[in-house]
Amino acid sequence: MAENQLFYPRLEELIRISKKSFNQVERDLGYPRNALHNYKNGVEPSGIRLIELAHYFGVTPEYLLGINNDPKNNGTRIIFESLNDYQKKDLCIICQEWLLSSK
C-alpha cells in the first residue's frame, strides 16, 4: 500500500483502539461532522489537521501518513541511526557527562 493510502486505515485503527467513534473524535477536536470520513477516498489532511490528529492519538504525523511504522518514534532514534560510529560514541560520552552532572 502506498504511503498516501495508509492515512485512513491508520486513522480507523487509532479510533478503534481509543474506543471512540469518528463523531466523538470530530467533536473532541472541533471538526465538522463527517470531516474524518472525507479521508476515506484518499484525500490527505492539511498539515494542521495532521498534527492535531497525531497529538490527539499520541502518535507521530509520519506514522499517520505511513512514512514509518513506529507510532511513537519522536525522531531521536532516526537522528542517532544517521550518525557514524565516531559521532555515536561522542554522543554517548556527552550523555554520560550530562547524566553525571545532573545528580
pLDDT at 96 over 60: yes
Phi, psi of 94 (to 5 degrees): -60, -45
Average pLDDT in the chain: 87
pTM score of the predicted model: 0.67
- For the chain, the residue count is 103
Q: What is the mean pLDDT of residues 2-29?
A: 89
What pLDDT is stored for residue 1 in this prediction? 46
Give the cell for residue 26: 470530530
Residue 6: which H helix or E strand, with range? none
Q: Which of 42, 78, 103 is nearest to 11 (CA)?
A: 42
For the chain, domains (ranges, CATH) are 3-101 (1.10.260)
Alpha helices in the chain (DSSP H): 7-18, 22-29, 47-57, 61-65, 76-81, 85-101
